[in-house]
Amino acid sequence: MNVPQHISIIMDGNGRWAKQRGLDRVQGHIEGVKSVRAVTEKCVELGVKYLSLYAFSEENWNRPTEEVGALMSLLAKCMIQEYDTLMDNGVRFRVLGNRSRLSPDLDEAITNLEKATENNPNTTMLIMLSYSGKWDILQAAKKLAGRKPEEITMEAIDDALVTAGIPDPELLIRTSGEQRISNYMLWQTAYTEFVFTDTLWPDFRKDSLMAAIEEYSRRDRRFGKVK
């Protein structure tokens, strides 16, 4: 089996999972955290170097205030609760996105966890938070403004994105039957293989990840060339 070095996931369907059970949407997010844990552990086991997870888009700030608040508190709680699991599994934790929109308390808690886990040798978990692909390209363009045209190369753009230094994902999984990119990593997914599954995120566990990797392994990646 061909295991990617960077797997990215658009975790979708928490709300529908909760609705099917007559529960509050937040219960779906809580159950979704268990999937995050399971998938992260599997990535460590498989030796995946990077696992990026789309946790909250720039557009998600427009959700009802109560849901935004509940998601942010859930995240803050997870960062305390999951500390031991991250350390035991040697997982490095990083958050990428428009951090200026986060509360100063949450931002500080994130920075502390990033520092505490920075030497962990196994999978790097990238939580894409307050992130959108167009925002990422825009902030990169602002960083490059003022440079000479010949200095603005593909590599310079790569290095100005929040994912600087991280290889592009070879595999992007989207759960819950939706088949679109939803303003996610637009630049970084130029040659990424997409795997869509009907499974709702709270039901996506280790076996679902293995099935997605197996599907990826069967793909013939040509990068626009003839093989």
Instruction: Name the burial class of residue 220, with classes exposed (0-12), middle (13-18) and buried (19+) by CB atoms within 10 angstroms of its CB.
Output: exposed
Name the minimum Å distance from CB 29 to ligand FPP. 5
Nearer to ligand FPP, 130 or 160 (CB): 130
Instruction: Name the burial class of residue 109, with classes exposed (0-12), middle (13-18) and buried (19+) by CB atoms within 10 angstroms of its CB.
Output: middle
Name the minimum Å distance from CB 170 to ligand FPP. 21
How far apart are the C-alpha atoms of 129 and 77, rounded to whole Å?
15
Instruction: Name the burial class of residue 36, with classes exposed (0-12), middle (13-18) and buried (19+) by CB atoms within 10 angstroms of its CB.
Output: buried
What residues line the site for ligand FPP (CB under 6 A)? 11-16, 29, 32-33, 36, 53, 55-56, 60, 74-75, 78, 127, 176, 201
Cα torsion at 96, 11, 42, 203 (round to 10°)? 160
Name the minimum Å distance from CB 32 to ligand FPP. 3
- Say if residues 215 and 50 touch (Cβ distance below 8 Å): no
Nearer to ligand FPP, 14 or 124 (CB): 14
Nearer to ligand FPP, 65 or 222 (CB): 65
Catalytic residues: 12, 60
CA distances from 184 to 101, 153, 204 (A): 18, 22, 20
Q: Report the residue closest to ligand FPP, judged by CB.
A: 15
Nearer to ligand FPP, 160 or 163 (CB): 163
Name the minimum Å distance from CB 60 to ligand FPP. 6
**Angle, CA of 80, 125 and 209, to the nearest 5°:** 110
